[in-house]
Amino acid sequence: MNSLFGGINNIISLAITPAFLLLGVMMQMRVLTNRLARIIDRCRVLEHKRSAGQGLSAALKHELVVLYRRMDAIHRASGLSAACMILICIAVVVLFGDDAFNLRLDSLIALLFVFAMLLLIASFSLFLHEIFIASHSLPGTALHRARRVSHPHNGGNHR
């Protein structure tokens, strides 16, 4: 077997890089699922308050809306990360298949990695978006204050 990538030792060496990449994406998935678990726990507390007849103030309703937005961003980021991991695994299989059958699939392998990186970029972007939602929804943040000041029911007062 004389492929574009060299002997089997070289192929295995080439496959180690995607393995480390998979490990990194798996760590990102762990962070995402931990954040999702915390959001779900908080939603359950708020939903329990509502079902216990305590009602929800406007602030708690707003918090639920923010939590659902965060949950949506994390779900989408997790899906993109999972798709990224699948493409990386497919690239490794194609890499070994290329070597075993002399298929000359170097362009396909490169394309798979490029798409995997695009999915990873999109996933990290959604993760960053979720962090912004979380941090800017806190009452003490400048963005939250700016929204409250420019809100129409404040009589148009701007500080």
* Per-domain residue ranges of the chain: 8-134
Q: Report yes or no: 47 and 127 within 8 Å, Cβ to Cβ.
A: no
Average pLDDT over residues 68-75: 98
Task: Please give the pLDDT value at position 47.
Answer: 86
Choice between 24 and 6, residue whose per-residue pLDDT is larger: 24
Task: Please give the pLDDT value at position 1.
Answer: 46
Average pLDDT over residues 121-146: 84
* Mean of pLDDT over the chain: 85
Task: Please give the pLDDT value at position 7.
Answer: 75
Average pLDDT over residues 7-32: 89
Q: Which residues of 117-127 are buried (b: 16+ CB within 10 A; e: fewer)?
A: eebbebbeebb
Q: Report yes or no: 133 and 70 within 8 Å, Cβ to Cβ.
A: yes
- CB under 8 Å to 99, separation ≥6 — which residues? 1, 3, 5, 8, 11
Task: Please give the pLDDT value at position 45.
Answer: 92
Task: Please give the pLDDT value at position 60.
Answer: 82
What CA–CA distance (Å, rounded) separates 39 from 35?
Answer: 6
pLDDT category at 151 given cuts 50, 70, 90 is: low
pLDDT above 50 for 159:
no
Task: Please give the pLDDT value at position 133.
Answer: 96
